[in-house]
Amino acid sequence: MLLVPLLLSLLVSLVSCTGRPASDAVRAEAQRLLDRRAAAVLAHDESAYRRTGTAAGFADLRAVPLADWSYRVTEVRRAGDTATADVELRYRFEGHDRAPVTAGRTMVLGRTPDDRWTVVSDRPDRESAQQLWDQGAVTVVRGERSLVLGVGQSRRSLQRFADLGDRAVPAVSRVWGTGWSRRVVLLVPRSLEGMAGLLGSPASSYRGIAAVTTGETGAVRAPADRIIVNPDAYGVLGPVGRQVVLTHEATHVATRAHTNAATPLWLSEGYADWVGYRESGRTPAQAAPELAHAVASGDVPEHLPTDADFGFTGAATSLARAYEGGWTACRMIEDRWGAERLAEFYRAVGAHQRRAGAVEGAMRDVLGTTPEEFTASWREHLRTEFG
């Protein structure tokens, strides 16, 4: 007979005076706290920010041009005077992002003697990558069509990236058209390790990769593409190579809404390389040295590169041949059908939602050929170029 009063007492202890579970009350308090913290970030109000807890990170964010910044508490786990909050951060760069970036954060909260919650620490959660300001103070440089944010980089160095981005945007628009944002955002960390932190992957995955573009494929309103630079690999490139890389990545930004699961990597990467090299003055052998050497030696590929051939963890020569194979296929389409038809083919493939039948249908409808005929023509094109 003592069980009922005991259970009732336990239930009362877990419910606030308003009838809500105690965890809900803490979550609501945490949300109000983080709402004030977000408002302080947007207002550049360091005093208000400090009143919400630790000031760590505020100075690193100071220069970032933010249009929006908000937190959403998804879960809170309390242990006495400490609570761990799972938080969704949403932010948008002014003048560039059409929709917010979302990032998972883990915040530790502490209870003060006067019974208030404050932020003790703020870090990426286990499933999320770092943000650039997690790595130090951000320096910002604006170009006509580019926004460059860097950590551990001189303003002069970042200005060079802005200039490259400003040249890349019109180069892409000349062949793809102007139906995209025609703006690029570049993140330039201190090192390869910083790049890996922004991507949430081991540094070994990107060694030798000069830059990558992140974003949501298939989005009609491409929300927030980022070109993330590997300063270690980028620094060894010459002027032409640097421009090729930035134009390549800007092409990914432009084509994002028409790139999805139906698009093979030989087409998405090959098209980006085709745009990148188009105004570079490089000869085919200079643009595709590994493939040129293989074909000249009698090793003509039997088929177009597969998605697996583009893995960053494989041999560098194999990865280079995959990119070069995609580039030569797109170059062949330009030679035979024209640049406008090449862009039309790209869009036609992306109009499908699944890989099955996408390339075959686009080849039939746009190029008037079959995959078998296309592959045979591509292999002959390689022999003519490099044999």
Nearest to 70 by CA among 36, 26, 23, 97: 36
Position 378, amino acid: W
Q: Which residue spans of the chain are classified as CATH 3.40.30.160?
A: 131-256
Task: Please give the Cα distance from 13 to 302 (Å, whole number).
Answer: 71
Per run of 10 residues, the mean pLDDT along the chain (length 387 residues) is 36 40 85 98 97 96 97 97 97 93 97 95 96 98 98 97 98 97 97 96 90 72 80 95 98 95 97 97 96 96 96 80 98 98 98 96 98 98 94
Which of these, 197, 95, 192, lies nearest to 140 by C-alpha position?
95
Cβ–Cβ under 8 Å, residues 319 and 209: no
Helices 265-278 and 316-337 pack at an angle, to 10 degrees, of: 70
Question: In this structure, are strands 117-124 and 138-142 parallel, antiparallel, or unpaired?
Answer: unpaired
pLDDT of residue 98: 87
Alpha-carbon distance 66 to 138, whole Å? 13
- Closest Cα to residue 184, out of 226, 151, 219? 226
The span from the CA of 271 to the CA of 273, in Å, is: 5
The topology under which CATH files domain 131-256 is: Glutaredoxin (3.40.30)
Q: Which residues pair with 187 in a beta bridge?
A: 149, 228
The CA distance from 268 to 279, in Å, is 18
Q: Where in the chain is the domain with CATH 1.10.390?
A: 260-387
The side-by-side arrangement of strands in the sheet containing 211-214 is 138-142, 146-151, 184-188, 226-229, 211-214
Class of domain 12-128: alpha beta
Q: Are 155 and 240 in contact (CB under 8 A)?
A: no
- Beta bridge pairs of residue 146: 184
pLDDT of 312 reads: 73
Residue 315: the pLDDT is 73
The rounded distance, in Å, linking the Cα atoms of 38 and 48 is 10
- 248-306 confidence digits (pLDDT tens): 999 999 999 999 999 999 999 999 999 999 999 999 999 999 999 999 999 999 999 99
Q: Which of 238, 233, 244 is nearest to 208 (CA)?
A: 233
DSSP string computed for 219-287 = -SS----EEEE-HHHHTTS-HHHHHHHHHHHHHHHHHGGG-STTS-HHHHHHHHHHHHHHTT---HHHH
Q: Would you state the pLDDT for residue 4?
A: 36
Q: Which of 203, 215, 301, 281 is nearest to 250 (CA)?
A: 215
Q: Dihedral sign for Cα 180, 183, 96, 248, please.
A: positive
CATH 3.10.450.50 domain extents, the chain: 12-128
Q: In the prediction, which pLDDT does 383 show?
A: 96
- Top CATH class of 260-387 equals mainly alpha
Q: Among 278, 272, 274, which Cα is nearest to 253's?
A: 272
What's the confidence (pLDDT) of residue 8? Answer: 32
**How many DSSP H helices and E strands does the chain contain?**
15, 9
Looking at residue 330, its pLDDT comes to 98
